Structure 1
Amino acid sequence: MTRETLLDRVISLLQKAEFILSEKCDIRPRSFDLGARRGKTFLLIKVLSNIEGLGEETSLEMRRLAVLFSGSPIIIGEHTNDHPLESGAVYLRYGIPCINIETLHDFFVEEVPPLVYAAPGGLYVEIDGDTLKAIREVKGISLGDMSKQLGVSRRTISKYESGMNATIEIALRLEEILDSPIARPINILITLDKARQEQNQPNDLRKANPLERDALSALMNIGFEVYHTTRAPFNALSRDDYNKMLTGVSDYTEVMLKKAKFMSSLASVAGTYSLFIVDGMRHPKQIGNTLLIMREDLKDINDTEDLFTIFGEKMDPDKSNN
């Protein structure tokens, strides 16, 4: 199927699973296709027919944004270069879980997590070593007896009980011998650890163009931390101690209006503010939930509280333009 057809199927499935979704992002470049929220779970989703098409730069930005949004990045695909993605299996590309749509359905609709992950050499299962050892001892099966039944060494059985992963064939044979499940479910909702979050520092804006540098530096001067993006459908994610804000910077164009509309949709799902700093706009306005402000007006804003006061004054839902 085409990527667009797969994306539409993903959207339909997530709606069935009672997620709130942003609009599809059809702005290039794009590091993700849509945002989705259900309760406290927030997903940044990218759909690729071939998961090998995920590049390192795009994956880095997805992971970075996932930290900033307190969410999880996930890739939905159909195949690698060599073979289709197996149902119930998780593949990793640059640290991001990649699954097929059947696995997505099982996880979010049926609430059945995957048990298998792909690694060089094949598919593997994470053994719950404590459970394995406890059941073996209750059933009175010695290490020697089990090693004979599996055709492996006693040392290998000890390693499984210490948490060493196993091939699918070995895992199934262990479960058959013990008559009990011993595989750990895989949580595809990865949470990037604290160390990575601490490394996720604001950019120095060296990759920004002059207009971006001017506008984003002005936000930094009034107290925002600014995280510049290169492949997202907005130019930065800015935050103070209490709030996050999607931030766009551009001349006033049709493309800018399109970005502002998508940002409004994403901000509603992600629970953030949305601001577009515009050069060449005659009158400030809003696009949905995105506030448009003229670049020169930033000099009249003294701190982050002033800016959020403007949001409160300007963002009248009855006057929003969609």
Structure 2
Amino acid sequence: MDDYRKGMIEYTGRFLRESGFSLSACDLDGLSSFDLIARRENESYVIKVLYNVDPFRIENAIEISRIGKMLGSAVLLIGERAGNGFLEDGIVYFRHSIPIMSTETFHNYVNGEKPLVYAGPGGYYVSLDGKKMQEARSRSRLSIGNVSMSIGTSRRSISLYESGNSATLEVFQKLTRILKEDISRRIDISEYTNTKEDEPEKPEDEFLFDIYTNMIKIGLDMNLIRKAPFNALARDNIKESLFLMGLFEDLAMNRERILAIKNISDLMEKFPLLVSRQDTTKETVGGCSVITAKKLSEISDHDEFLRVVSRTRIHS
């Protein structure tokens, strides 16, 4: 990790702590698709920090989006540059559908100042509150035709704006002058967390494939994670709980990752679970429940799985 990016992560972490967030950092030599997870009551973020956001690839976006979705957290990328220029403060950018903010914009966002403008193809845009716009136009006793003529656009465009379509920044400024009211809808990055039900990735590795198959058989939804302290997230839809899973050949060789799994689980109030390929008599390691791959393969149903995991949790 280069020193400047490390400084950005430390600065962001310090700001979040001072703002009342609890934090779990993920300094695992580039292993992770995210750098920080932060939580303040019901507000939480999964954050990646890059000085230049250009290297952020679609694979990174898919993974951090999947993590955010399963944790119930907003995801974002904090950066300073894109291409040859700096990111402008007060503007939200997007890369592979992930919101991007400058450090200053994120600080303001956390402090309650949500951005108005986002960058899109061809320029800057503002999301409009169609209901507010329609009500403001009615109060001003203006018809759709009056407004369209005043700003030099079609009646259909005005109708679309009143249906909630975004407008260019220039058009928004004209509408505001005419209607004399705030008709914007501020940007809430939690709305941009990927909600698509993507097909879970099936592992090629035999060890991981066996665990994946057994978890599905037991009745849990499982998503593999390539670049995080945890290898998988498993959702129990019956109990509405989530397991952060470490799937390891050797527990002793993964102490740092196990500690990170425990820290993130505690922060987000989820359940840490380690699956060991090697036989072990340990029921917990680092505060995480342990089950061997062999034992997992012998479990036949959902209730038995919960009994086994609950028993190891009691002994932690």
Q: Which TM class, normalised by the smaller chain length?
A: 0.7 to 0.9
1:274 — aligned with what? 272
In structure 2, do the counterparts of structure 1 residues 246 and 82 end up closer, same or farther at CA, with 3 Å as the change threshold? same
In structure 2, do the counterparts of structure 1 residues 215 and 126 end up closer, same or farther at CA, with 3 Å as the change threshold? closer
Distance 1:191 1:166 in 2: 18
Kept in 2, the 8 Å contact 1:116–1:124? The answer is yes
After superposition, residues 1-150 of structure 1 pair within 5 angstroms as: 2-109=4-111, 111-141=112-142, 146-147=147-148, 149-150=150-151
SS of 1:64 mapped into structure 2: helix
Task: Report the number of matched residues.
Answer: 309
1:173 deviation in Å?
3.1
* Corresponding letter in the other structure for 2:306: E
Per-residue CA distance 1:3-59 (angstroms, 9 max, x = gap): 111111211222222222113342543221122222223321111112222111111
* Corresponding letter in the other structure for 1:309: S
Kept in 1, the 8 Å contact 2:251–2:276? The answer is no
In structure 2, do the counterparts of structure 1 residues 99 and 142 end up closer, same or farther at CA, with 3 Å as the change threshold? same
* Corresponding letter in the other structure for 1:214: D
Distance 1:118 1:105 in 2: 19
Distance 2:138 2:241 in 1: 53
Distance 1:254 1:34 in 2: 25
Per-residue CA distance 1:219-244 (angstroms, 9 max, x = gap): 44444332222222221112324431
1:320 — aligned with what? none
In structure 2, do the counterparts of structure 1 residues 153 and 33 end up closer, same or farther at CA, with 3 Å as the change threshold? same
Per-residue CA distance 1:146-175 (angstroms, 9 max, x = gap): 556535455554544444432223322332
- The percent identity for this pair of structures is 29
* Corresponding letter in the other structure for 1:274: P
Structure 1: state its 5+ residue gaps: 316-322
Kept in 2, the 8 Å contact 1:73–1:190? The answer is no
Kept in 1, the 8 Å contact 2:26–2:34? The answer is no
SS of 1:112 mapped into structure 2: coil
In structure 2, do the counterparts of structure 1 residues 170 and 260 end up closer, same or farther at CA, with 3 Å as the change threshold? same
After superposition, residues 276-295 of structure 1 pair within 5 angstroms as: 276-280=274-278, 283-284=281-282, 286-295=284-293
SS of 2:258 mapped into structure 1: helix
In structure 2, do the counterparts of structure 1 residues 300 and 107 end up closer, same or farther at CA, with 3 Å as the change threshold? same
Query: How large is the Cα RMSD of the aligned pairs?
Result: 2.8
2:207 — aligned with what? 211
Q: 1:238 aligns with which of 231, 234, 239?
A: 234
SS of 2:186 mapped into structure 1: coil
Distance 2:216 2:196 in 1: 19
Matched, 1:248 2:249: no
- Which segment drifts farther, 115-124 or 25-34? 25-34
Per-residue CA distance 1:279-300 (angstroms, 9 max, x = gap): 4465526443323444444456
2:224 — aligned with what? 228
* Corresponding letter in the other structure for 1:81: G
SS of 2:25 mapped into structure 1: coil
Per-residue CA distance 1:257-289 (angstroms, 9 max, x = gap): 111011111111122111222244655264433
* Corresponding letter in the other structure for 1:271: E
Distance 1:220 1:155 in 2: 49
In structure 2, do the counterparts of structure 1 residues 184 and 299 end up closer, same or farther at CA, with 3 Å as the change threshold? closer
Per-residue CA distance 1:47-102 (angstroms, 9 max, x = gap): 11122221111111122222222222211111211322222221121121111122
- Provide the TM-score with structure 1 as the length reference: 0.83
* Corresponding letter in the other structure for 1:260: I
1:258 — aligned with what? 256
SS of 2:191 mapped into structure 1: coil
Distance 1:217 1:158 in 2: 51
2:182 — aligned with what? 181
SS of 2:182 mapped into structure 1: coil
Distance 1:182 1:86 in 2: 23
1:318 — aligned with what? none
Kept in 2, the 8 Å contact 1:252–1:281? The answer is no
* Corresponding letter in the other structure for 1:278: S
